[in-house]
């Protein structure tokens, strides 16, 4: 794959992972985790793993984000850490 | 020389980032107090393992693992070389176009294994979030220390 693209996505991956674990708002954490899943889906499409990429796009960025938001909706939005 | 050095760094950069993401996920699972944050850390840990395996299947200059047979291209090559009259090079080049070289395709085995891991990971996340909702219904909080304090208080009362 194009190595510049690879490095940019990997750096953004680490940034989004840290942000989703540091924000105190759980809804924001869920949305940033959805962004993380979409970025890693782009990375797999670039590395030639297209089957893994579209499974991650539907299941990781889609279903995971939706069930996280549903849980936050049914419980509390704020977190202590 | 510089291309070889940068290529070496790039090949190993994926593994470095996989290790960093794995440590971020492990740190979150151990130290975070909120159950939802712990689950997000677990998902990041799982993605890091999948990144490691898929990176191991990447080949230099390879494309996606879907076979192509180039039939139309072979006929064009033969027709073009008939017109120019090079009959000896025609046979060898058409054979080369038809041959399937495994080095042209990335290794699909890690992809298929990791496809299963993604689906299992989402099922785990779904069950864990359902259990968290039940915990919230019973204890009124998602913070680990408050839940432990309430369990201890209930034990002392009983």
B16-33 tens-digit pLDDT: 999 999 999 999 999 999
Phi-psi region of B107 (alpha: psi -120 to 50; beta: other; left: phi over 0): beta
Mean per-residue pLDDT of chain A? 92
Residue B89: its pLDDT value, please? 46
Same domain, B137 and B126: yes
Same domain? For B61 and B7 the reply is yes
Eight-class DSSP state of B104: G
Together in a domain, B121 and B153: yes
| Residue B45 lies in domain | 2-65+105-157
**Residue A22, in any domain of the structure:** yes
Q: Do B27 and B39 belong together in one domain?
A: yes
Where residue B90 falls among pLDDT bands split at 50, 70, 90? very low
Q: Are B36 and B48 in a shared domain?
A: yes
**Cβ neighbours of B29 (radius 10 Å):** 16
Residue A13: the pLDDT is 94
The 3-state DSSP class for residue A78 equals: strand
Q: Do B126 and A67 touch (CB under 8 A)?
A: yes
Q: Cα–Cα distance between B66 and A54 in angstroms, integer? A: 15
- Which of the two residues, B90 and B26, has the higher pLDDT score? B26
Is A80 contained in some domain?
Answer: no
Cα torsion through A50, B47, A17, A74, rounded to 10? 100
Task: Kindly state whether residues B87 and B35 are assigned to the same domain.
Answer: no
Using CB atoms, pick whichever of A13, A56, A60 lies closest to residue B21.
A13
Phi then psi for B101, rounded to 5 degrees?
A: -95, 120
Chain A CB contacts of B10 below 8 Å: 3, 6-7
Q: How many domains does chain B have?
A: 2
Q: Do B147 and B139 contact (CB within 8 A), yes or no? A: yes
**Distance separating alpha carbons of residues B95 and B102, to the nearest angstrom:** 16
pLDDT of residue B87: 45
Domain count, chain A: 1
Whether residues B31 and B46 share a domain: the answer is yes
Judgement on whether residues B16 and B58 belong to the same structural domain of the protein: yes
- Are residue B50 and residue B127 in the same domain, yes or no? yes
Please compute the mean of the pLDDT values over residues A72-78 and round it to a whole number: 92
Asked if A60 lies within 8 A of B65 by C-beta distance, the reply is no
The token pair at B32 is 């975070």
Asked if A47 and B58 come within 8 Å (Cβ–Cβ), the reply is yes
Is A79 domain-assigned?
no
* Residue B59: CATH number of its domain: 1.10.287.3510
Q: What is the mean pLDDT of residues B36-48?
A: 95
Domain span including residue A51: 3-74
- d(CA B62, CA B95) in angstroms, rounded, equals 20
Asked whether residue B76 falls in the same domain as residue B47, the answer is: no
Q: What is the ipTM of this complex?
A: 0.94
A81, part of any domain: no
Half-sphere exposure of A8 (CA within 13 A, CB side): 7
As a whole number, mean pLDDT of residues A17-25 equals: 94
Per-residue pLDDT of B111-121, as tens digits, reads 999 999 999 99
Is the domain of B50 the same as that of B111?
yes
d(CA B137, CA B102): 55
């Amino acid at each position: 794959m194009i190595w510049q693209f690879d490095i940019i996505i990997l750096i953004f991956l680490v940034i989004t992972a840290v942000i989703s674990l540091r924000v105190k708002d759980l809804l924001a954490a869920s949305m940033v985790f959805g962004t993380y899943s979409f970025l890693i889906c782009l990375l797999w499409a670039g590395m030639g793993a297209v089957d893994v990429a579209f499974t991650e796009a539907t299941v990781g960025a889609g279903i995971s984000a939706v069930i996280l938001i549903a849980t936050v909706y049914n419980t509390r939005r704020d977190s202590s850490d | 020389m510089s291309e070889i050095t940068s290529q070496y760094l790039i090949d190993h950069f994926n593994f470095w980032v996989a290790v960093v993401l794995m440590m971020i996920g492990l740190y979150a699972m151990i130290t975070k107090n909120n159950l939802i944050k712990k689950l997000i850390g677990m998902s990041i840990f799982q993605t890091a393992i999948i990144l490691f395996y898929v990176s191991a299947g990447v080949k230099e200059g390879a494309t996606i693992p879907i076979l192509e047979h180039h039939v139309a291209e072979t006929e064009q090559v033969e027709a073009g070389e008939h017109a120019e009259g090079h009959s000896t090079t025609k046979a060898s080049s058409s054979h080369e176009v038809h041959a399937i070289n495994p080095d042209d395709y990335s290794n699909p085995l890690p992809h298929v294994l990791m496809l299963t891991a993604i689906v299992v990971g989402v099922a785990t996340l779904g069950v864990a979030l359902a259990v968290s909702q039940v915990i919230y219904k019973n204890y009124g909080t998602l913070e680990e220390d408050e839940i432990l304090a309430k369990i201890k208080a209930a034990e002392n009362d009983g």
